[in-house]
Structures are given as structure tokens and as C-alpha cells.
Amino acid sequence: MLMTDPKSAPALSADVMTLAGELGAERSKPGWSTFSLAINDDQREIRDWTHAFAADVIRPAASEWDEREETPWPIIQEAAKIGLYGLDMNVNLFVDPTGLLMPLVHEELFWGDAGIAMSLKGTGLASSAIFSNGTPEQWSQWMGRCYGTPDDVRVAAFCSSEPGAGSDVSAIRTRATYDSVTNEWVMNGQKAWATNGGIADIHVVVATVDPSLGTKGQAAFVVPKSEVRGLEMGTKLRKHGLRASHTADVFFDNVRIPAENVLGGKEKLDARLARAREAAGQRARVPAGGAAGQQGRNASMATFEMTRHLVGAQAIGIARAAYEVALEYAKTREQFGRPIIDNQGIAFKLADMAVEIDAARLLVWRAANMSSALMRGETPDYQHGEGSMAKLKAGEVAVKVTEEAIQILGGNGYTREYPVERMHRDAKIYTIFEGTSEIQRLVIARAISGMRIR
Ligand SMILES: Cc1cc2nc3c(=O)[nH]c(=O)nc-3n(C[C@H](O)[C@H](O)[C@H](O)COP(=O)(O)OP(=O)(O)OC[C@H]3O[C@@H](n4cnc5c(N)ncnc54)[C@H](O)[C@@H]3O)c2cc1C
């Protein structure tokens, strides 16, 4: 319109100037400029400090611990001595209001090596479960014990999965029965694939108290191996990747646990069970899919959503490491008288790898920022499974990028002389644990549609 009516052009220009002025004034109001992807000085300092540890200590030891398939205790001790492993560090990362510090540190550690990094970060699963579900007294009693001290480092295990209950947590059969005579819980069952299972002192165990209530009849218990009888480690699993991280089944045979070890406290659990029984009774009387059911689903989704991005950050660390190796190799490897990166067939692969890694990181940072704000009660709830989006994308990017890295390194990429084959093995777990890719798609599909998709 501006171009077709020259007579009205000066007047419109004036209007445009006014409009631009108004917009400028509006944009300079507080709040307009709060969106930023720049990390601040503190975040940069901690990220670089973590990177130095990953480059100097973790990376050089990666191949050795992968071959040994053992928990790298000396590296955990070294990390604890400099303050990189322990509860204090986690609290410091957690309090960052942007939510970015935690994923920044995860990315750097897993850039160093995923197996070793999982040995450093696996304990966080148990301590987070205590933090999310426990009382302040339980935080101070158990969270520090998960990590031990720099002179006596410990790891902790979070045991939810069972041979018959992986994706389907409602199928958990490990049973905790309250014994009112001794004021104890008695636990029986088997947990599967537990990171640090059996070598940890503190085991946080999800068990069913009332199987008729499904997931609403479950509770989490702190089981300190050193203080109970009947907790036994099963066979340690030999794995495709993450081989420096210990994974094993754990058996519970009439394990007696003090009543107060149920996270959140027994009183709160009893009240929650009573509400769930009442709701189950109401559901039996009214058609399914009412408001109460919807609320229950949202609450549990929010809990999982709040930590999924961290697993995504780990996957990005692996992907970035493989991408960097491939980029360097492509610049130096010559075939047909020129570096292989001179061919678009290779250069475009690297371009795609870079784009995918950055795209995944943006999803992780968005979910991290939402998670942090949500914990302060500041933001609208997740709308579209944003935590799942981050984990899904990052996990699949890690698998794809590490595979392309092997392709770029050719025969060398397929051997253990170069790290990308290990990175590819490590990456694969990121489409499986902490919710498989299919389960993430299920969460997202339900969130975007509001439908009960199966
Ligand atoms: C190295 C490692 C470490 C682990 N660490 C821990 C830990 O510390 N603590 C812990 O509790 N667990 C841990 N796990 C277990 C992990 O979380 C489970 O393996 C995972 O949740 C998947 O469960 P599953 O193996 O039983 O697979 P299943 O649930 O049997 O799934 C098999 C396949 O079916 C698909 N599938 C299942 N249901 C559906 C559906 N409704 N729609 C579409 N597809 C579906 C899955 O996506 C998958 O592809 C670990 C596992 C490994 C390998």
C-alpha cells in the first residue's frame, strides 16, 4: 500500500516515525529485555572450571575405565577434593535462578566421558528424590550421606525399575508393609538396572504400599544398606556403553526399615493414601476422565518434567564431544589429495551435527529455565511436555551425531583407537533410560492433544 499511493507517502512516513517512537518507548520498559541466552560471569566461571576437570582428569582416563568396566573411585575422590562432587556443589548449582548452571555442568562432565560422568552424577538421582519427596529433616539426615565426605566418598542409588516394571511404573511389585508392632516397614522385592545399586549405602527405593491404587499407592523409602539386613546386590550387568558406571539388580528380602524412612513422613503418606482411596471410590461412581483424574496426571507429569532436561544436557555433552573429534579429523584427514572436509558430503554432515546440537541445547535450556521458575512457583506449568521435548531431542541427536562421527572417521571411527565408537555406545542409553523416546513422545502427544493416547 505504501508503494502504490505516492501522495499519501509523506503522511504514512510520519505515522511510521511516530509508531517507531512509540514502539521504542514500549520496548525500553522493564521486562522487554529480560530474554537472553547469554550466560553470566558466575556461570561461565563454573562451566570453565568443570570443563578443565573434564579435559584434564576425566577425558584422559575415559578409555581405561570403559575397558575396566569399574566405578572410577579415584576420580570421584578427586572430584570430591576440589568440591565438584558432593551435596554443597549440587546445592550451589540448584540455586541458580536461571536454571542453567546444572545443565551447563552436566554437559561439560559428559563431554569429558559419559561413563565416568555417570559415576559422578548417578548419586544425584537419589538425592533429588529425597529433596523432591522428603521433609526438611529428611533432607538434612540423608542428602549429605548420599555423597559421603571427600575423605570417605559414597555413591547413592535410586531404585524404581523392576524386571516387570520399566516404562510402566504402575507395575512395580516391590512391597513395603507397615509393621505396627515394631513401627517398621518390611520390604520385599527386586529392583532392576539400578545405577550404583548394591555398591551404594543410601538406596532410595520406590515400593508399593497399596497395590490396588497403582502409582498413587506407591511411596519412596530411604534404605541405608549399612543399617539393614536383607539388601543384596544381584549380578552386576555388563553393558553396551556407560561401562564405567555400575548397574545392577538389587534384592530386598524382609528388609526392616524404620517407619520414619518413608519420604515425606508416614502421616503424610497415610493422608495421601486416604485421599487416593476416596478418589478411587468416586471414580467408580462417576464416568472416567473427570477433573480429578486430569489433575492427578498433570501433577505427576510435572515432577518428571522438572528433571528430564538434565538427562538431555548429558546427551548433548556426548554429542558435542563426538562432533568436535569429527570436525578436527575431517580437517586433517586427506583423501584424493585434499582434506575430506573439502567435500560437501562431509562438510554438510558436520553442519547438520552443529545445528542439531545447538537446537537440542536450546530445548534443554528452555526446559531448565521453566523448571527453575516452576520451583519458585513463578511460571505457568509445562504446556507441551517441554522437559520431555528436551530429553527426546537431545537423546536422539546424541545417537545420530555419534553415528555420523564414526562415519566421518571411517575405519578409524570403528576402532577403539579413537573415542567416537565409545561415545556412540554411550549415547544409545539416552533413548532408553529416564523414559524411552517412545514414552517421551507419549507424554508430548498427550500434552499437546489433551487426549489419553496409548
Ligand atoms: C544403564 C542403565 C541405567 C539405569 N539406571 C536406572 C536407575 O538408576 N534407576 C532405575 O530405576 N532404573 C534405571 N534404569 C532402567 C531404565 O529406566 C529402564 O530400562 C527404562 O525405563 C525402560 O524400561 P524397560 O527397559 O523395562 O523397557 P520396556 O518398558 O520394556 O520397553 C521396551 C520397549 O517398548 C517400548 N514401549 C513400552 N511401553 C510403550 C508404550 N506405551 N508405547 C510405545 N512404546 C512403548 C519402549 O519405548 C521400549 O522401546 C537403567 C537402565 C539402564 C540400561
Q: Phi-psi category of 239—alpha, beta or left, where left has phi over 0 and alpha has psi -120 to 50? A: beta
In 139-246, the DSSP E strands lie at 148-149, 152-153, 157-159, 175-179, 184-195, 202-208, 218-224, 231-236
- For ligand 1, whether the C-beta of 50 sits within 6 Å is no
Q: pTM (2 decimals)?
A: 0.91
* Whole-number pLDDT of residue 296: 39
Number of domains in the chain: 3
- For ligand 1, whether the C-beta of 436 sits within 6 Å is yes
Local confidence pLDDT in tens for the 454 residues of the chain? 334 444 444 455 667 778 877 777 776 666 666 677 899 999 999 999 999 999 999 999 999 999 999 999 999 999 999 999 999 999 999 999 999 999 999 999 999 999 999 999 999 999 999 999 999 999 999 999 999 999 999 999 999 999 999 999 999 999 999 999 999 999 999 999 999 999 999 999 999 999 999 999 999 999 999 999 999 999 999 999 999 999 999 999 999 999 999 999 999 999 999 999 999 887 766 544 333 333 334 444 555 777 899 999 999 999 999 999 999 999 999 999 999 999 999 999 999 999 999 999 999 999 999 998 888 887 667 778 999 999 999 999 999 999 999 999 999 999 999 999 999 999 999 999 999 999 999 999 999 999 999 9
Identify which of 125, 432, 434, 444 to mutate to test ligand 1's pocket (most ligand atoms within 8 A of the CB): 432
Residues 316, 371: one domain? yes
Report the catalytic residues.
434
| DSSP 8-state class, residue 262 | B
Residues 246, 381: one domain? no
The CATH code of the domain that includes 180 is: 2.40.110.10
* Whole-number pLDDT of residue 337: 98
Residues 141, 84: one domain? yes
CB 245 within 8 A of CB 115: yes
* Domain end among 232, 249, 278: 278
What's the gap in Å between 166 CA and the centre of ligand 1? 4
Is there a domain that residue 192 lies in? yes
Is there a domain that residue 234 lies in? yes
* Whole-number pLDDT of residue 427: 98
Domain coverage including residue 206: 157-278
Identify which of 193, 252, 428, 429 to mutate to test ligand 1's pocket (most ligand atoms within 8 A of the CB): 193
Residues 303, 215: one domain? no
Model confidence pLDDT, tens digit, residues 365-391: 999 999 988 888 876 677 789 999 999
Residues 181, 248: one domain? yes
Is there a domain that residue 100 lies in? yes
Is there a domain that residue 6 lies in? no
Residues 373, 416: one domain? yes
- C-alpha cell of residue 141: 539426615
* Whole-number pLDDT of residue 22: 78
What percent helix, strand, coil does the chain show, rounded to 5?
60, 15, 25
Is there a domain that residue 417 lies in? yes
